[in-house]
Structure 1
Amino acid sequence: MKKTGERSSSDGARTPGVPGSSKKGRRKQRHRKRQGGDAKNASLHRAEAGHSAGIAEEAGSSRPEGAKRQRKARRAKPNRAERRALLNQKLHAPVVNIDPGGTSVEVIQPAPAPKEEVKTHGSTQVRQSGPAEQHAPRPSQGYRSRENDANRRRHPADMRGDGTHRFPSRHRHQATGSQELYAALDLGTNNCRLLIARPEQRGFRVVDAYSKIVRLGEGVGRNRKLSDDAISRAIEALQVCQQKISERGVQRARLIATEACRAAENGEEFVSRAKKEAGLELEIVSQETEARLAVAGCVSLVDPEADGVLLFDIGGGSSEIVWLDLRNRYGARGYALTRFVRTWTSLPLGVVNLAESHGGVHVTPDVFEAMVGDVSQRLENFPLGNELSRAIERGNVHMLGTSGTVTTLAGVHLGLKRYDRRRVDGAWMEQEDVSAMINQLLNMSYQERVENPCIGEDRADLVLAGCAILEGIRRRWPCQRLRVADRGLREGILMEMMAADKVWSNSNHKRRRTPRKEYNR
């Protein structure tokens, strides 16, 4: 007998909300509903998967299950050359002639359009040139008639008129890379130096270098003429330089000669012979130009915190001294410092003519003091010399030397067993170090100087003459620090040419992210 009020559901559980139903029955009911929903969703997923698999099988796809579908490659758009060719076909369609019998077909291509086309309002107007225009060269064309070329006024040292050479394409090979190559040649009293470089960021990367001691100014102090032996040595070195310039495909070059050709009576005759035998046209530069180029080549080594720099270049036949007053530079650095030249001078004393006057093989302390006396006498007429002395007394002024003399002193000071430009260029020397190195070289015999790896036989008879010039400058303006620069006129020439061509301000110039490599001497 069932109790009154009790109801039974079809699944045997008590109905919720009716007297006699339990919590256990309600939990079972909710569990069955959840299982039923999950089963329904699973069946739908299986049906969709089966449908997709059937479509893939019908299409013959071999893609494994779970692999991602590959995106179909888009059709490549035509490039500029293809678009130009398509446009040309539309504008100048070929003419097709079919034989009446249908046995042959002739396709006649249209004649090429003239180079000069004028586009107006979306249409192309072709301007025909008459017979006179076809033969007469236009000013905008890249060639000149012989009459115009003969009447054209040339610079005495080159084709451009600014002291540099622009080599025509028929005289050079194709240069590697998209950037032009620049060459700088410095034919001095003692050395012949060549540097070939490519612009990079705010400087340049050296591609090739050459240096040879030729002693072109040997005997000029006595005879006022270049000797035949010295000319032969210089011509031989210039021929090597010309070969390097040609093989590298140099587009811009400046080739200068300094004091030896300025002082010699046959300097112009030597320049003509060099052009004839070596194929290089030299430019004899003034003392002011030489001083400016020395500054341009070394300003990157100026201390950013310095208020002034006393820069000197001890050459074979002359020595240039420049005062850079940097008290009002307002953060300027690098090549921009060339604008701060306060004063300069050029002494007619170099290592070659000073060694010829006093002797350079066996140098005693008395001979050395006589050399220093000659230099000190020349420095008395330095413009603004007393003002420079007061600036040095206030401090924060350092020396910057560029010559074989200071690089030799730095190499000996560093104790190098072999000359290493990477360690010498930019090295700092205190005043006590410079004095110690000069005394050390003065106490060496000639043979000991020859055997020193930083001096060698080529400089053994000249190095003490250079030390005497340096000592004369130090006694006149004693600075506490000296920075060594293994660079000079060649680097200055390259910097000036590249700055004139605005290679660093060109947005299309490809800049490298790798650091610039140094070159070995």
Structure 2
Amino acid sequence: MSDFLIDEELLAAIDMGSNSFHLAIARVDHGEVKKVVSMSEKVQLAAGLDENNNLTEAAQQRGLACLSRFVGRLSSVKPNRLRIVATNALRKAENGQEFIEKAAQILPKQIEIIAGREEARLIYLGVSHSMVNGGRRLVIDIGGGSTEFIIGEEFEPIHTESLQMGCVAYTKEFFADGTISAKNFNKAVVAASKELSAIASRYKAEGWDTVVGSSGTIKACGQIIINMGWSDEQESVTRAGIEKLKDKLLKYKHIADLDFDGLKDDRRAVLPAGFAILYAAFNVLDIDRLMYSDGALREGVMYDLLGRFKHEDIRDRSVQALLGRYGVDVKHAERVVTTAQILFDNVSEDLKLTNEDSDLLRRAAYLHEIGLAISHGGYHRHGAYVLEHSDIPGFSQIDQNHLSNLVAFHRRKIKSDAKAELLKIAPKSIVYLCLLLRLAVLLNHSRSDQMLPAIELHIMNEQQWQLTVSGDAKQWPLLVADLHDEQTQFKHWDIDLVIHSDQFID
């Protein structure tokens, strides 16, 4: 990845939401993201989840067809300037990996399934860059499968939550036959209110100055209220406007009958469910007034990507936060990071490793000992569990899985079948990074500032690596012994590790 983006270069994001897929292409203009292309299609992936949470073939084909059309607009965007994120529907889908593998045949970049709180963080980033007013904001984004609530100031979120309620999911649950009644509307409101009760006290205690809504549901509801003359002078959604829309909505008997001015056909089907969630939010959080923002997840993804190019990567801040939270020996971690980088630089060209691989190895080297905060015994497994299951800002589920595997395999014995299992879920580069991290940790077993011998790693061929330890290796007998033992572990993963030193030569 380049160190920077110059003005006029393009960035792009694909947001694979549970209701709609969105494509945004933007140019960088004086550090700001200016959209030049915007596409949106109602794929309704969440509607294609069956009773076992498997995506139906029809839903998969809708998604793949949409992605194919999006790819046709991406010819001017370099793959490393594109991010593709998927949200609640693929988080829930039991056969999500099957869909991702099919999509990989179409897309120039891997899909990243992001956790709910990461989705919330990116939504806030997109909204905050579209707003001119300051102060503390409550941002609400009603999606197809989940709804995100974020409190933040300026560009920094303070609280992020993702609740399991969305306009597509609630349509299936409460309005499946299209009937609109006070009974099923109230059931939807009660269900949303129960979800909101988990965060209401904490959020209201934190407080906010303004409330901002994003997403198609809030846009549609806001536009209806404005068209009906029920908004205030700033065209904001008010509590009074919400009540009037409820009364009007309940006069209709079926979704097909909805004839609000400007309401699109594809939005009509999910409007009652989406509005029920918005209505519950107004009531439970005591909201008086809400304004709409065009900023959303895809804009947040592009600003986050821009930050990575400008060395403002949230992932590095998250790593530093984890180091502090788990009381990691930072000085030792930095020794391992330095050694890992030397080894990586030695072999990256021969193994076709990328800058992204370098970043991943560096972060894993920093975090390899976080499991010590839980227990010394098997701490690599504890650390791997923490990295896989925590909400870590900036990281997709794939990122976390890769980090988790590097930490899991950085010490102790590794079995032959573990490599085959790893390759089912990760590229071969992750295998190489695991071995590089093992060497970096081993070379720093002494946990000492004493100067290590000069080391150099060469790739002789795909099955043979050569590690040269320069200088008088007799000064480091334990190190050479450890390297000898490590040869056995490398062999389990089909690598012949050749050690050259004054004391030990294969």
Name the TM tier (shorter chain): 0.5 to 0.7
Q: Is the 8 A contact 1:242 1:280 kept in 2?
A: no
Letter in 1 for 2:23: L
Q: What is the Cα deviation at residue 358 of structure 1? A: 1.0
Correspondence list, 1:318-337, <5 A? 318-324=146-152, 326=153, 337=154
Q: What is the Cα deviation at residue 490 of structure 1? A: 0.5
Q: Is the 8 A contact 1:239 1:279 kept in 2?
A: no
Q: Distance in 1 between matches of 2:174 and 2:39?
A: 31
Distance 1:473-1:219 versus aligned 2 partners, 3 A rule: same
Aligned to 2:158: 342
Correspondence list, 1:75-90, <5 A? none
Aligned to 1:487: 295
Q: Distance in 2 between matches of 1:501 and 1:277?
A: 26
Aligned to 2:137: 309
> Is structure 2 residue 112 aligned with structure 1 residue 296?
no
Letter in 1 for 2:119: E
Q: What is the Cα deviation at residue 475 of structure 1? A: 1.3
Aligned to 2:201: 386
Correspondence list, 1:205-216, <5 A? 205-216=34-45
Q: What is the Cα deviation at residue 401 of structure 1? A: 1.0
TM-score (norm 2): 0.56
Correspondence list, 1:157-196, <5 A? 179-196=8-25
**How far does the alpha carbon of each residue in 1:177-231 deviate from its partner, in whole angstroms, 9 at most, with x for none?**
9631000000111111000000113522212111111111224262311110011
Which of 442, 447, 454 is 2:262 aligned to? Answer: 454
Q: Distance in 2 between matches of 1:405 and 1:475?
A: 17
Aligned to 1:242: 71
Q: Distance in 2 between matches of 1:305 and 1:205?
A: 21
Q: Distance in 2 between matches of 1:272 and 1:256?
A: 14
> Is structure 2 residue 308 aligned with structure 1 residue 500?
yes
Correspondence list, 1:105-120, <5 A? none
**Matched residue SS, 2:36:** strand
**Matched residue SS, 2:237:** strand
Distance 1:449-1:278 versus aligned 2 partners, 3 A rule: farther
**Matched residue SS, 2:72:** helix
Q: What is the Cα deviation at residue 503 of structure 1? A: 9.8
Letter in 2 for 1:313: D
Correspondence list, 1:90-101, <5 A? none
Q: Is the 8 A contact 2:211 2:291 kept in 1?
A: yes
Aligned to 1:373: 190
**How far does the alpha carbon of each residue in 1:306-361 deviate from its partner, in whole angstroms, 9 at most, with x for none?**
4x32211111011111122x4xxxxxxxxxx232x332221111111111111152
Q: Is the 8 A contact 2:46 2:168 kept in 1?
A: yes
Which of 466, 471, 477 is 2:285 aligned to? Answer: 477
**Matched residue SS, 2:165:** coil
Q: Distance in 2 between matches of 1:347 and 1:387?
A: 14
Q: Distance in 1 between matches of 2:158 and 2:108?
A: 39
Aligned to 1:329: none
Q: Is the 8 A contact 1:199 1:503 kept in 2?
A: no
Structure whose CA Rg is larger: 1
Q: Is the 8 A contact 2:79 2:108 kept in 1?
A: no
Distance 1:252-1:427 versus aligned 2 partners, 3 A rule: farther
**Matched residue SS, 1:218:** helix
**Matched residue SS, 2:74:** helix
Letter in 1 for 2:237: M
Q: Is the 8 A contact 2:128 2:295 kept in 1?
A: no
Which stretch shows the higher mean deviation, 297-306 or 207-216? 297-306
> Is structure 2 residue 69 aligned with structure 1 residue 275?
no
Letter in 2 for 1:261: L
TM-score (norm 1): 0.54
Q: Is the 8 A contact 1:190 1:352 kept in 2?
A: yes
Q: Distance in 2 between matches of 1:281 and 1:322?
A: 27
Paired-residue identity, %: 26
> Is structure 2 residue 220 aligned with structure 1 residue 408?
yes
Distance 1:278-1:342 versus aligned 2 partners, 3 A rule: closer
Q: Is the 8 A contact 2:126 2:298 kept in 1?
A: yes
Q: Distance in 1 between matches of 2:276 and 2:307?
A: 36
Q: Is the 8 A contact 1:183 1:494 kept in 2?
A: yes
Aligned to 1:81: none
CA RMSD in angstroms comes to 3.0
Distance 1:447-1:259 versus aligned 2 partners, 3 A rule: closer
Which of 178, 190, 197 is 2:26 aligned to? Answer: 197
Distance 1:438-1:200 versus aligned 2 partners, 3 A rule: farther
> Is structure 2 residue 247 aligned with structure 1 residue 439?
yes
**Matched residue SS, 1:455:** coil
Q: Distance in 1 between matches of 2:35 and 2:131?
A: 21
Distance 1:284-1:387 versus aligned 2 partners, 3 A rule: closer
Aligned to 2:487: none
Aligned to 1:357: 173
Q: Is the 8 A contact 2:193 2:280 kept in 1?
A: yes
**How far does the alpha carbon of each residue in 1:53-83 deviate from its partner, in whole angstroms, 9 at most, with x for none?**
xxxxxxxxxxxxxxxxxxxxxxxxxxxxxxx
Correspondence list, 1:505-516, <5 A? none
**Matched residue SS, 2:61:** helix
Q: Distance in 2 between matches of 1:266 and 1:312?
A: 29
**How far does the alpha carbon of each residue in 1:7-46 deviate from its partner, in whole angstroms, 9 at most, with x for none?**
xxxxxxxxxxxxxxxxxxxxxxxxxxxxxxxxxxxxxxxx
Q: Is the 8 A contact 2:138 2:150 kept in 1?
A: yes
Q: Distance in 1 between matches of 2:211 and 2:303?
A: 22
Letter in 2 for 1:257: A
Correspondence list, 1:52-91, <5 A? none
Listed as ranges, the gaps of 5+ residues in structure 1 are: 1-159, 161-165, 167-174, 327-336, 417-422, 505-521
Q: What is the Cα deviation at residue 278 of structure 1? A: 4.5
Distance 1:448-1:233 versus aligned 2 partners, 3 A rule: closer
Query: Aligned pairs, how many?
Result: 307
Q: Is the 8 A contact 2:55 2:96 kept in 1?
A: yes
Which stretch shows the higher mean deviation, 344-353 or 449-458? 449-458
Aligned to 1:228: 57
Q: What is the Cα deviation at residue 437 of structure 1? A: 2.5
**Matched residue SS, 2:82:** strand
Letter in 2 for 1:315: G
Higher helix share: 2
**Matched residue SS, 1:245:** coil
Which stretch shows the higher mean deviation, 396-405 or 442-451? 442-451
Q: What is the Cα deviation at residue 447 of structure 1? A: 6.0
Letter in 1 for 2:249: L
Q: What is the Cα deviation at residue 386 of structure 1? A: 2.2
Letter in 2 for 1:461: A
Q: Is the 8 A contact 2:25 2:37 kept in 1?
A: yes
Q: Distance in 1 between matches of 2:205 and 2:311?
A: 40
